[in-house]
């Protein structure tokens, strides 16, 4: 489908071109339907998060949050909730948002104007200890990322460069454990953490995740591509094994390390089942579990729930828009376990 | 020359140094993976309450498990879910990937948007969709009404979709017992497809871009039409990717938990237990009051057995058809 028409293409005629153009239009139409389906829930989340509790109850719903404003006595306008409308009389019963008695005004005097209620975000934030949840998630994520980088590099180095008894067997055992899904071992893990006295502590959220088998695998594969001669030469020149890892292997593996960092951050930030089981109190509860809690306790304040959902996903979404290529690549690799 | 230097010459690492490098990851893997996985197997033969082992019971947990109708219905629900998610997700993502592979000018834009839900936490995704599915105020019912249809109860609808369709079409011959998955489960399936499709698209796109251009060139010179090109060139050469996507989507689908936990109920697994999947059943048996962790471990092992078997079977079947 290059721009210049190839000579050997015998089908060049108007009908063919028309069909191709039509096909082209169809392709874009289908892709755009997909785009809309992907975007609407996000848009709806933002739109809802900026509405008033009264507007939430409106059906059919409004796409853009709208406020109602009535003429005030001093000539300005005040924001009101519309309680009811009387079509035949052309009047409406309204109540000022800031408080005060209900008023009956002419319907024509009530003006609709876009009104984005950013205060919902503040209200949601204060409704539950979200600051604490945020801190917990960031704290846990930082430790897990740092830990995974250290343990995976060391283990991958041993698997890739050193010769010791049973190396390949140990590696196979590691890999086979990667295939076991989390729900299978979560019950005994809970018992292990109970025995260690770690339930409801940061240790429970950090330490079991400090080693990541897939990262070890990924780094080992990459380390193996670095020529042996380089290693031999460096060792004979008196470079220590650790110095070789630190000065040569790791700098040569930046791309893989970045991938590891990204999928560890995303995985830790979004993990749910594990922290749900292992924490009980807000002190160590991470953001996702806090958000789930909030959603189950709120029940009806949809504007607050959507605001909370929005500020919970914001950091990753913002990061995604800055580094989508790396993030897509990293997450695509991280799934490539089997 | 000391013995250590001689070892280095031979490139044989002394086990002590190797162990030092392996210890940090090794300890964690052994304590928090190997040990729990091993004990999951052992625990399933014991009575375990409140994290305390109360006695060896042999296969009694399994016997109880197989006699529990809730276990079977949760397996059935999970099967519905997997069958609902996997083929549709595969089809839609392959379709989108093939469209995107036609030298679309703004490929990056489409890929970025399709992938967006993958980066979003499942908790937030579930909350947003639960609101979209709201029976009275939801966006989806608004669309249905806009298009001239009626409202549906979505996540609060326990009736099976076949049953509903039969009722709507006045098919009195439809057998009563065959209600199909509840509409609530269908709603959860829709969300799973929406959330996972971007990931599959990216994998398919990578697979498509790995197919060398000369195959297409050759097919074109031979006068193949687009359909022939797809079935004779793209499909066979893409089969390793398709196989991978099939496998990974199936495995992930069997473990569905978060959406069920957040979107359905209360009580979770509702309405009328029609969305209670196997992992939620396990969670309930293991961690709810009155639960038994030995029993939950038995459930976990059954789940693992299913996933392992499916992996092996799929690998077997597809391997014969995969063109490498």
In this predicted structure, the answer to whether residue B10 has a pLDDT above a threshold of 70 is: no
User: Best residue in A124, A180, A187, A291 to probe B by mutation, most B CBs within 10 Å?
Assistant: A187
In this predicted structure, the answer to whether residue A40 has a pLDDT above a threshold of 50 is: yes
Q: Which residues contact B183 (CB under 8 A, 6 or more apart)?
A: B152, B153, B154, B157, B159, B160, B161, B164
- Among the partner residues B223, B248, B282, nearest to A183 by beta-carbon distance: B282
pLDDT at A338: 41
Residue of chain A with shortest Cα separation from B104: A28
User: Using 50, 70 and 90 to split pLDDT, how confident is the model at A71?
Assistant: confident
Query: Exposure string (b/e) for A51-84, b if CB count within 10 Å is 16 or more?
Result: bbebbbeeeebeeebbbbbbeeeeeebbbbbbee
Q: Within an 8 Å CB–CB cutoff, is residue B270 touching chain A?
A: no
Q: Within an 8 Å CB–CB cutoff, is residue B43 touching chain A?
A: yes
More confident residue, A111 or B28: B28
Q: Within an 8 Å CB–CB cutoff, is residue B96 touching chain A?
A: yes
Using a CB-CB distance cutoff of 8 angstroms, which residues of chain A are in contact with residue B26? 155, 211
pLDDT at B200: 95
In this predicted structure, the answer to whether residue A176 has a pLDDT above a threshold of 50 is: yes
Question: Nearest CA to CA, how far is B164 from chain A (Å)?
Answer: 25
Q: Quick one: CA dihedral A284, A290, A293, A299, positive or negative? A: positive
Average confidence (pLDDT) over A76-105: 82
Contact A90, A109 (CB under 8 A): no
Question: Nearest CA to CA, how far is B182 from chain A (Å)?
Answer: 22
- Name residue B53's beta-bridge partners: B48
Q: Which CATH number fits domain B68-291: 2.40.50.140, 1.20.120.80, 1.20.1250.20, 1.10.3720.10?
A: 1.10.3720.10
pLDDT at A1: 43
pLDDT 10s digits, B168-218 = 888 888 877 788 899 999 999 999 999 999 999 999 999 999 899 888 889
pLDDT 10s digits, A223-257 = 998 888 888 888 888 888 888 888 888 999 999 99
Average confidence (pLDDT) over B154-158: 88
B 174-193 near A (Cβ less than 8 A): none
Question: Nearest CA to CA, how far is B186 from chain A (Å)?
Answer: 17
pLDDT at A3: 47
Question: Nearest CA to CA, how far is A131 from chain B (Å)?
Answer: 17
Question: Do A42 and B128 make contact, defined as CB atoms within 8 angstroms?
Answer: yes
Average confidence (pLDDT) over B111-139: 94
Q: Within an 8 Å CB–CB cutoff, is residue B7 touching chain A?
A: no
In this predicted structure, the answer to whether residue A15 has a pLDDT above a threshold of 80 is: no
How much of chain A, in percent, has pLDDT values that exceed 70? Answer: 94
- Among the partner residues A191, A213, A317, nearest to B119 by beta-carbon distance: A317
Q: Within an 8 Å CB–CB cutoff, is residue B227 touching chain A?
A: no
What is the count of residue pairs from A and B with beta carbons less than 8 Å apart? 277
Using a CB-CB distance cutoff of 8 angstroms, which residues of chain A are in contact with residue B193? none
Using a CB-CB distance cutoff of 8 angstroms, which residues of chain B are in contact with residue A273? 257-258, 283
CA distance B106 to B109: 5
CA distance A148 to A334: 14
Question: Do B123 and A312 make contact, defined as CB atoms within 8 angstroms?
Answer: yes
In this predicted structure, the answer to whether residue A312 has a pLDDT above a threshold of 50 is: yes
- Name residue A96's beta-bridge partners: A80
Q: Within an 8 Å CB–CB cutoff, is residue B311 touching chain A?
A: yes
- Among the partner residues A187, A328, A336, nearest to B293 by beta-carbon distance: A187
End-to-end CA distance of chain A: 35
Q: Within an 8 Å CB–CB cutoff, is residue B121 touching chain A?
A: yes
User: Best residue in B51, B88, B96, B123 to probe A by mutation, most A CBs within 10 Å?
Assistant: B123
Residue of chain A with shortest Cα separation from B281: A183
User: Using 50, 70 and 90 to split pLDDT, how confident is the model at B13?
Assistant: low
Using a CB-CB distance cutoff of 8 angstroms, which residues of chain B are in contact with residue A167? 18
Average pLDDT, chain B: 88
pLDDT at A2: 45
pLDDT at B1: 53
Q: What are phi and psi of B223, to 5 degrees?
A: 80, 30
Q: Within an 8 Å CB–CB cutoff, is residue B1 touching chain A?
A: no
Q: How would DSSP label each residue in B33-53?
A: IIHHHHHHHHHTTEEEETTEE
Question: Nearest CA to CA, how far is B85 from chain A (Å)?
Answer: 17
- Among the partner residues B37, B43, B142, nearest to A60 by beta-carbon distance: B142
In this predicted structure, the answer to whether residue A200 has a pLDDT above a threshold of 90 is: yes
pLDDT at B223: 85
pLDDT at A96: 83
In this predicted structure, the answer to whether residue A335 has a pLDDT above a threshold of 70 is: no
Average confidence (pLDDT) over B241-263: 92
CA distance A305 to A291: 8
CA distance B66 to B74: 12
Q: What is the ipTM of this complex?
A: 0.90
Question: Nearest CA to CA, how far is B171 from chain A (Å)?
Answer: 33
Among B115, B90, B260, residue whose Cα is nearest residue B191: B260
pLDDT 10s digits, B301-323 = 999 999 999 888 877 776 666 55
User: Using 50, 70 and 90 to split pLDDT, how confident is the model at B80?
Assistant: very high
Q: Within an 8 Å CB–CB cutoff, is residue B282 touching chain A?
A: yes
Q: Within an 8 Å CB–CB cutoff, is residue B257 touching chain A?
A: yes
Average confidence (pLDDT) over B125-137: 94
Instruction: Classify strands A77-86 and A103-106 as parallel, antiparallel or unpaired.
Output: unpaired
User: Using 50, 70 and 90 to split pLDDT, how confident is the model at A14?
Assistant: low
Question: Do B125 and A41 make contact, defined as CB atoms within 8 angstroms?
Answer: yes
Q: Within an 8 Å CB–CB cutoff, is residue B205 touching chain A?
A: no
- Among the partner residues B13, B28, B279, nearest to A163 by beta-carbon distance: B13
Question: Nearest CA to CA, how far is A302 from chain B (Å)?
Answer: 7
Residue of chain A with shortest Cα separation from B18: A158
Q: What are phi and psi of B117, to 5 degrees?
A: -65, -25
Query: Exposure string (b/e) for A211-242, b if CB count within 10 Å is 16 or more?
Result: bbbbbbbbbbebbeebeeeebeebbeeeeebe
In this predicted structure, the answer to whether residue B7 has a pLDDT above a threshold of 70 is: no
Which of A102-106, A135-139, A163-167, A241-245 is most confident? A135-139
Average pLDDT, chain A: 87
């Amino acid at each position: 489908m290059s721009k210049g028409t190839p000579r050997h293409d015998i089908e060049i005629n108007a009908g063919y071109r028309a069909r191709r153009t039509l096909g082209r239009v169809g392709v874009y139409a289908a892709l755009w339907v997909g785009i809309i389906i992907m975007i609407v829930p996000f848009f709806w989340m933002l739109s809802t998060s900026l509405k008033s509790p009264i507007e939430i109850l409106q059906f059919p719903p409004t796409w853009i949050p709208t406020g109602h404003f009535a003429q005030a006595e001093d000539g300005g306008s005040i924001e009101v909730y519309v309680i009811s409308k009387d079509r035949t009389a052309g009047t409406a019963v309204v109540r000022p948002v800031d408080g005060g008695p209900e008023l009956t005004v002419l319907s024509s005097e009530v003006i609709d104007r876009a009104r984005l209620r950013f205060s919902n975000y503040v209200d949601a934030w204060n409704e539950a200890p979200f600051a604490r949840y945020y801190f917990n998630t960031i704290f846990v994520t930082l430790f897990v990322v740092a830990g995974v980088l250290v343990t995976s590099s060391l283990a991958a180095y041993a698997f890739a460069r050193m010769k010791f008894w049973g190396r390949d067997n140990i590696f196979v055992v590691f890999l086979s454990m990667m295939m076991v899904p989390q729900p299978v071992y979560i019950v005994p893990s809970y018992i292990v953490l109970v025995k260690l006295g770690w339930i409801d502590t940061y240790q429970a959220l950090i330490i079991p995740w400090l080693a990541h088998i897939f990262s070890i695998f990924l780094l080992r594969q990459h380390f193996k591509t670095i020529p042996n001669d380089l290693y031999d030469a460096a060792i004979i020149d008196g470079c220590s094994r650790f110095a070789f890892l630190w000065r040569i292997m790791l700098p040569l593996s930046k791309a893989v390390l970045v991938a590891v960092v990204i999928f560890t951050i995303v995985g830790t930030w979004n993990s749910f089942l594990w922290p749900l089981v292992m924490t009980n109190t807000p002190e160590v509860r991470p953001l996702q579990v806090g958000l789930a809690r909030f959603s189950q306790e709120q029940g009806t304040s949809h504007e607050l729930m959507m605001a909370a959902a929005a500020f919970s996903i914001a950091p990753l979404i913002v990061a995604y828009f800055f580094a989508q290529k790396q993030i897509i690549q990293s997450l695509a690799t991280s799934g490539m376990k089997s | 020359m000391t013995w250590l230097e001689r070892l280095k010459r031979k490139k044989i690492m002394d086990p002590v140094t190797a162990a030092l490098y392996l210890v940090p990851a090794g300890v964690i893997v052994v304590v928090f993976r190997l040990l729990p996985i091993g004990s999951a197997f052992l625990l399933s033969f014991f009575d375990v309450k409140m994290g305390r082992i109360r006695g060896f019971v042999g296969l009694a947990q399994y016997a109880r498990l197989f006699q529990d109708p809730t276990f079977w219905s949760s397996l059935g629900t999970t099967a519905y879910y997997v069958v609902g998610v996997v083929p549709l997700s595969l089809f839609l993502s392959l379709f989108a990937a093939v469209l995107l592979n036609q030298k679309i000018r703004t490929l990056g834009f489409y890929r970025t948007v399709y992938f967006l839900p993958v980066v979003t936490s499942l908790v937030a995704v579930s909350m947003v969709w639960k609101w979209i599915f709201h029976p009275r105020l939801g966006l989806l019912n608004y669309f249905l009404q806009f298009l001239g249809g009626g409202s549906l109860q979505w996540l609060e609808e326990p009736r099976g979709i076949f049953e509903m369709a039969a009722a709507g079409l006045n098919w009195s011959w439809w057998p009563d017992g065959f209600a199909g998955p509840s509409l609530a489960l269908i709603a959860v399936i829709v969300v799973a497809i929406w959330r996972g499709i971007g990931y599959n698209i990216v994998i398919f796109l990578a697979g498509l871009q790995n197919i060398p251009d000369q195959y297409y060139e050759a097919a074109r010179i031979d006068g193949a039409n687009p359909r022939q090109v797809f079935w004779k060139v793209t499909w066979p050469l893409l089969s390793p990717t398709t196989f991978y996507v099939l496998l990974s989507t199936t495995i992930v689908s069997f473990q569905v938990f978060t959406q069920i936990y957040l979107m359905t109920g209360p009580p979770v697994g509702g309405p009328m237990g029609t969305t209670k999947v196997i992992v939620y059943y396990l969670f309930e048996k293991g961690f709810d009051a009155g639960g038994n962790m030995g029993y939950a471990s038995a459930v976990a092992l059954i789940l693992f057995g299913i996933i392992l078997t499916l992996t092996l079977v799929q690998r077997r079947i597809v391997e014969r058809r995969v063109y490498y």
